[in-house]
Amino acid sequence: MNDVPAAKRGIAMVFQSYALYPHMSVYQNLAFGLETARAPKAEIKERVQRAAEILQIVPLLQRKPKQLSGGQRQRVAIGRAIVREPRIFLFDEPLSNLDAELRVQMRVEIAKLHNDLGNTMIYVTHDQVEAMTMADKIVVLRQGVIEQAGAPLELYNTPKNLFVAGFIGSPKMNFLAASADGSALKVAGNTLDLPRPVTGATTLGVRPEHITISEGSGLKLADVRVDLVENLGGQTVVYATTADNQPLTIVLEGQRPVELGSTVGAHIDPSRLHLFDAEGNVI
pLDDT at 5: 42
In this model, does residue 8 exceed pLDDT 60?
no
Tell me the pLDDT tens digit for each residue of 123-135.
Answer: 999 888 899 989 9
Count of the separate structural domains present in the chain? 2
Mean pLDDT in residue range 196-200? 80
- What is the DSSP code string of the chain? --SS-HHHHTEEEE-SS----TTS-HHHHHHHHHHHTT--HHHHHHHHHHHHHHHT-GGGTTS-GGGS-HHHHHHHHHHHHHTT--SEEEEESTTTTS-HHHHHHHHHHHHHHHHHH--EEEEE-S-HHHHHHH-SSEEEEETTEEEEEE-HHHHHHS-SBHHHHHHSSSSPPEEEEEEEEEEEEEETTEEEEEEEEEEEEEEEEE-GGGEE-STTSSEEEEEEEEEEEEE-SSEEEEEEEETTS-EEEEEEES-----TT-EEEEEE-GGG-EEE-TTSBB-
Would you say residue 6 has pLDDT above 70?
no
CATH number, position 113? 3.40.50.300
Instruction: Give domain status of residue 63, yes or no.
Output: yes
Average pLDDT, stretch 99-114? Answer: 81
pLDDT reported for residue 9: 47
What's the pLDDT at 1? 35
What pTM value is reported for the model?
0.81
| Residues 192, 123 within the same domain | no
Q: What is the mean pLDDT of residues 137-149?
A: 95
CATH number at 192 reads 2.40.50.140
Which residue among 135, 162, 195 closes a domain?
135
- Greater model confidence, 58 or 17: 58
- From 135, 162, 190, give the residue that closes a domain: 135
Structural domain range at position 85: 6-135
Which tens digits make up the pLDDT trace of 29-44? 999 989 988 889 999 9
